[in-house]
Amino acid sequence: MMLKLQPYRLNVVHTPGKYLFIADTLSRDFCAESCDVDTQFDDDVEMQVALLLENLPVTRENWELISKHASNDTVYCKLKTYISNGWPQYFKDVDSDCRAYFEFKDELVLVKGMVFRGDRIVIPCSLKIEMLKKLHTGHPGINRMMSRAEMSMFWLGCGQDIKKFVKSCPTCLKFQDNKSKNVLKYKKLPQFPWSEVGCDIFELYQKYYLVVVDALSNFVEVTTLDNLRTITAVEKMKSIFARHGIPMVVYTDGALCFDSEMFKKFAKEWEFLHVLSSPHYPKSNGLAESGVKSIKKIFKKALDSNEDPYLALLNFRNTPRGKVHSPASNLMSRNLRTNIPCSFQALIPKITYDKDRPILQENKYKSKEYYDRSAKSHPQYRVGQKIMFQKKPNSIWVPGTILEKGQTPRSYVVEGEEGRGVYKRNQVNVSARGEPVSLQKSNLNVSARGESFSLQGPKSVTK
């Protein structure tokens, strides 16, 4: 009946039963004697079936290849027998090899000795690797590869096998995009100002600047550097610490002047904890990076308009941020006098940072909530695990091995393949390396639904 109705364009309208005053024939039970059990189709239906057979999405070469492998596949032969002779009424009566097909048995048809599920040909087990290679021609991603498979072929666990195949493709792993975002992990607010600071160095108009930012008040100290030697940076930091006191924790990136024996000696003598961020991952030193961004913008605008950049810096330090008091007020408990007229009452010292702590903490919660909407938690890698990693940002991915977990959060010490160098990298620059796919002798895991069946082949390890 469905074939006979195909030439027509039907408009199906639902009518509630209470409005069907005269019940239609299909809503009533029937007796078998009154049914037309003639299996002879009319000419139109036979022509339509013949047309469908002629336009099957399989070339002659692939048809012969699949037919050859199907004849040697015991599960495939049992499946054809069930389709031809009829399926048992109960699931338990089906052969264990074919039980996975029982749920969608009504969708399976036998056409010229080949099994189809709808218009998708069922692929024998021994041909899966070859078909996966054909589907992966041009190295499409998982979704595009699945779309290709849905057009013409089917086997149990097709989706899972495609995912494993793509994730184990060396070329795809080598040139994969790094669009992953870590779930935001913010630092806890310090108990008092200038107890934790972030340091960084930037270049602007052929001059080097050292930036030190307080984690609680957001007060920024800026000073010029004659060169990038460690002794120069240490002398400038000593000058800043002599004004505001020695912080308990100093966060820096992996610049050479910060990652040296002299700086380690400086941290030990002045008794502060020095925390290095992951190489090529500036977000882990976000406090200083944010300060650099602000100072660069202030200096560029001031120099472009022929204004004094340090007067602009003074106003930045003395300006409230929304509901939060100014950085100078939170650090020094007083507003700084500028060339803007103000009352003497505004310059009287008063403690403000303690009132601003709940507001700053709430801002951190909101920032994390919004940021995590497009981020995801990365898997934890174990020592000795084979992985892919990037030596530099936006570079190709190369194979390596996890040696140990890094001292900083979410970082790893990675060894290149065949001992080619040791690198410290954040987990966003590390990716799991899929194991080679082997589906020639697969173990079938039966689940509740046909599309969720998975084929897990024997695991093989390459050295």
| Higher per-residue pLDDT: 58 or 351 | 351
Model pLDDT, residue 58:
62
Q: Which of 117-131, 133-147, 272-286 has the lowest mean pLDDT?
A: 272-286
What pLDDT, on a 0 to 100 scale, did the predictor assign at position 221?
92
Q: Span 230-235, mean pLDDT?
A: 93
Give the pLDDT of residue 430.
84
pTM here is: 0.55
The fraction of the chain above a pLDDT of 70, given in percent, is: 82
Distance CA 265, CA 261 (A): 6
Residue that wins the pLDDT comparison between 459 and 310 = 310
pLDDT exceeds cutoff 70 at 73: yes
pLDDT at 455: 35
Question: Does the pLDDT of residue 383 top 90, yes or no?
Answer: no
Task: Indicate whether 289 pLDDT > 70.
Answer: yes
Q: Compute the mean pLDDT over every residue in the chain, rounded to the nearest whole number.
A: 79
Lowest mean pLDDT among 253-257, 311-315, 377-381: 377-381
pLDDT band per the 50, 70, 90 thresholds, residue 233: very high
pLDDT digits (tens, 9 = 90+) for 240-262: 999 999 999 999 887 888 888 99
The per-residue pLDDT for 239 is: 93
Query: Does 456 score more than 50 pLDDT?
Result: no
Question: In the prediction, which pLDDT does 187 show?
Answer: 73
Among the residue ranges 122-126, 169-173, 230-234, 405-409, the one predicted with the least confidence is 405-409
pLDDT of residue 240: 93
Is the pLDDT at 175 greater than 50? The verdict is yes
**What pLDDT score does 428 carry?**
77
Please give the residue that has the higher pLDDT: either 276 or 42.
276
Q: Is 82 or 441 the better-scoring residue by pLDDT?
A: 82
Report the pLDDT value the prediction gives residue 382, as an integer from 0 to 100.
Answer: 85
Does residue 228 register a pLDDT over 70?
yes
**What confidence score (pLDDT) does residue 212 get?**
93
Give the pLDDT of residue 462.
33
Q: What is the pLDDT of residue 353?
A: 77
pLDDT at 25: 61
Residue 12 reports pLDDT greater than 80 = yes
Backbone torsions φ then ψ of 54, nearest 5 degrees:
-70, -25
Model confidence at 460, pLDDT cuts 50, 70, 90, reads: very low
